[in-house]
Structures are given as C-alpha cells and as structure tokens.
C-alpha cells in the first residue's frame, strides 16, 4: 500500500469509537410466510450492540429468511425489525463483478470521497493489499471470500449479516477465514449475525448461538469459552455435542 495512505490517519481503515461502531438489533413479533408455508412465527429477539450471534438449525427452519429480514432485503408479513444503523450482507457466493478489478469490486457502492484509499485499506485488512489490480478470475476461492469481506467492511457497517459466507470453501481455507473474520470483529466490534450449518463454526466465532426450530428460537445458548477457541478443547467438544444432539432431537 502507498506509504502516504498509511501515514494519513484520515485515510486509515480504523474502527469507529465503540459506541458508534455497532448497532443493537431488536425483533418484535416477526412473522413471514411464503404462500401457505409459515417460515417465521411471531419471533422476538434482542441482540446488544457489538455482539457476535450465530444462528443454526436444520434446512428450511428459516435461518436465511430471518437474515434477509434483518438486512432489509425482504419485508416481514407482520412485526418489526429495528436496527440502529447501517447493515451489510456477506453471502455464501462472493458475487464479485468479473469485469471489475479486485479494488474496483471493493469500491462498488461506496460513493464517498477518498473511496479508493478506504478500499485499499480494506484490502490490506484482509491480507490482499497487493492484489487490487488483479481480476477476480485469477483469485482462489479463499481470496475471493476475502475480497467479499473487504467489500462488506469498507463502508464500516454497524451490523454485518453473514449468510453461510464460508460454506463453499475447503476445510483449511474455511478455518483461515474464520480466524480472519474473528480478528476483524475483535478489532472493529461491529454487531455480527452469522447463519451457518456448521455448529463448530458457530462455537468458534459466536458468543451466543440461537437454535431455530419451526420459525422460532428454540434455544439461546451462551458460548462461555475463552478466545481464541480450539476444536480440540474438551469444553468445545461438549458444547458441540450438546447442540448437535438438540438439532437431531428436533428432526
């Protein structure tokens, strides 16, 4: 990265003050149907600002629908979603525009002065400062996910909704991305809502895990494990076994 950019504090990719960097989330009576199928049923939820919450559940339980409602991509049939600030979404597919460079993909939708400097700093934050001029087609799957994360973070969202963002990656790359996501969250302290099918991923990243069943929160499980978390830790394994048993019991 250009030394002039790094030396100018106005251009650095730094977190806002804690009280401004994250947004509380409140859901009240949230209901959503698709045709005759009721997906969410009078769901209530409060997530404090700066929290990292994971949502797990069997396929079709309403996880992605809930995330889309939180992000404002869909509207509920009834109830309300209250987010005190901007929300951004990171999807499972990176959704990079192939005709734009890596840097231009991060700049998309930013529309502010010094956008290029902020995009360069965001790429630096995810370890891709030297790849801004490349085309998406030459990147690996993990690198594309890093670009997608930089694009989600460059506008400094107060809430980041993550819809299975690492689901298509191989096991080792997925663990690397989990560590990167955790590091960025610990630094910037935005509110994070993660939808995942991977219970181990939920335990590794979140401080609270919500189990969704039949369109409602069936369990709200705190994760009281010190960071960084290790899958070989007996307490990690016990918690994973407990959640998996609950998921299987709800089948």
Quick check: 223 pLDDT over 50?
yes
**Residue 85's pLDDT band (boundaries 50, 70, 90)?**
confident
Mean pLDDT, residues 18-41 taken together: 85
Peptide bond into 228 cis (omega under 30): yes
CB 103 within 8 A of CB 132: yes
- Which range (132-136, 219-223, 229-233) has the least confidence? 229-233
> Global pTM?
0.86
* pLDDT value for 155: 84
Reading the block at residue 54, the tokens are 């994971």
Q: Which pLDDT score is estimated for 251?
A: 55
Mind listing the pLDDT tens digit for each residue in 122-179? Answer: 999 899 999 999 999 999 999 999 999 999 988 888 999 999 988 888 888 999 999 9
Fold for 3-249, please state it: Rossmann fold (3.40.50)
d(CA 192, CA 212): 17
- The average pLDDT across 174-202 equals 93
What is the edge-to-edge ordering of all strands in the sheet holding 52-56?
87-90, 159-163, 191-195, 52-56, 208-213, 216-222
DSSP state of 16: P
pLDDT value of residue 36: 87
* Alpha-carbon gap, residue 137 to 26, rounded angstroms: 39
The alpha carbon dihedral of 83, 181, 205, 14 has a sign of negative
What integer pLDDT is reported at residue 66 of this predicted model? 93
Q: How many CB atoms lie within 10 A of CB 124?
A: 18
Q: 10 Å Cβ neighbour count for 210?
A: 23
Q: Which two tokens mark 93?
A: 């597919």
Q: Is it the case that residue 8 has pLDDT exceeding 80?
A: no
Average pLDDT, the chain: 86
Bridge partners, residue 160, by sequence: 88, 192
How many whole angstroms separate alpha carbon 95 and alpha carbon 108? 12
């Amino acid at each position: 990265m250009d030394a002039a950019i790094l030396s100018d504090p106005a251009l650095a990719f730094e977190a806002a003050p804690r009280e401004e960097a994250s947004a509380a989330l409140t859901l009240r009576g949230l209901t959503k149907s698709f045709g005759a199928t009721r997906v969410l049923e009078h769901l209530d939820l409060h997530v404090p600002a700066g929290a990292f919450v994971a949502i797990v559940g069997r396929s079709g339980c309403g996880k992605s629908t809930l995330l889309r409602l939180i992000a404002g991509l869909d509207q509920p049939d009834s109830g309300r979603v209250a987010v005190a600030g901007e929300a951004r979404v990171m999807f499972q597919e990176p959704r990079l525009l192939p005709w734009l460079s890596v840097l231009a993909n991060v700049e998309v939708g930013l529309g502010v002065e010094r956008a290029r400097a902020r995009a360069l700093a965001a790429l630096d934050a995810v370890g891709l400062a030297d790849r801004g001029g490349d085309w998406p087609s030459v990147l690996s799957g993990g690198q594309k996910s890093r670009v997608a994360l930089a694009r989600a973070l460059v506008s400094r969202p107060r809430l980041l909704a993550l819809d299975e963002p690492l689901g298509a990656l191989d096991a080792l790359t997925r663990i690397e991305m989990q560590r990167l996501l955790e590091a960025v969250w610990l630094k910037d302290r935005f509110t994070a809502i993660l939808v995942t099918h991977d219970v181990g991923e939920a335990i590794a990243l979140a401080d609270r895990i919500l189990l969704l069943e039949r369109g409602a929160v069936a369990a709200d499980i705190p994760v009281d494990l010190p960071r960084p978390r290790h899958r070989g830790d007996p307490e990690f394994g016990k918690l994973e076994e407990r959640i998996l048993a609950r998921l299987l019991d709800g089948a």
